[in-house]
Amino acid sequence: MENMIKEHVRDIPDFPKPGIVFKDITPLLKDAEVLRKIVEAFAERYRAMKPHAIVGIESRGFLFGVPLAQALGIGFVPARKQGKLPYKTIGISYDLEYGQATIEMHVDAVNKGERVVVIDDLLATGGTAGAACALVQKCGGSVVECAFVVELGFLHGRDQLKRTPVYSLANYV
């Protein structure tokens, strides 16, 4: 699985800015069989944990989170950037390298006592995923695990998420 993913992830030097090597996951989506295997790997892991919903982080978390939710027969909840969700929202602000960002969910998206898996395509420093987990908790829910297709282990995002289990299918250590 890890090799298959790494063979399909494309390194883009200097994106979005000089010195950063961006992991382009779009080739994983172009190959239906590769995507199917990724979704099934997550589904196998989470089937026994019986989460109530999958929370996907905008926007690449949508790409993997929706088919995972469908594979498990559970609902999908989008966590989005500030101002994107139309109904009443609850939000969490978190620090970026420069400035702040806010991530939101609808107030009725995760209910008290519900257990969810939070998913994104990639774990970097863990700022956004940590905020998404805090948001689930603010709604009275709990995060079974944070799931990522790709983890940039050398950025130690797991440390940011220390109270939440982290699972990734491919790790760049």
| Catalytic positions | 60, 97
Tell which positions 122-151 bind a second copy, by CB under 8 A: none
Note whether 12 binds a second copy by CB under 8 A: yes
Neighbours of 75 (CB within 10 A): 16
Identify the burial level of 61 via C-beta atoms within 10 angstroms of its C-beta, where 0-12 means exposed, 13-18 middle and 19 or more buried.
buried
Using CB under 8 A, which of 3, 17, 32, 173 touches a second copy? 32
What distances in angstroms separate CA 124 from CA 1, 27, 96, 155, one per listed residue?
Answer: 20, 19, 12, 6
Using CB under 8 A, which of 4, 43, 45, 75 touches a second copy? 75
> Strand, helix or coil at 29?
helix
From 41-49, 72-80, 122-130, 150-158, give the range in contact with a second copy by CB under 8 A. 72-80
**What does 32-79 look like in DSSP terms, one character per residue?**
HHHHHHHHHHHHHHHHTT--SEEEEETTHHHHHHHHHHHHHT-EEEEE
Question: By rule CB under 8 A, what count of residues binds a second copy?
Answer: 38
From 81-89, 92-100, 114-122, 142-150, give the range in contact with a second copy by CB under 8 A. 81-89
Note whether 35 binds a second copy by CB under 8 A: yes
Q: Residue 15 has which token pair?
A: 């994106």
Question: What is the contact surface with a second copy in residues (CB under 8 A)?
Answer: 10, 12, 15-16, 22, 24, 26, 29-33, 35-36, 39, 53, 58-59, 62-64, 66-67, 69-70, 72-78, 83, 85-87, 106, 109
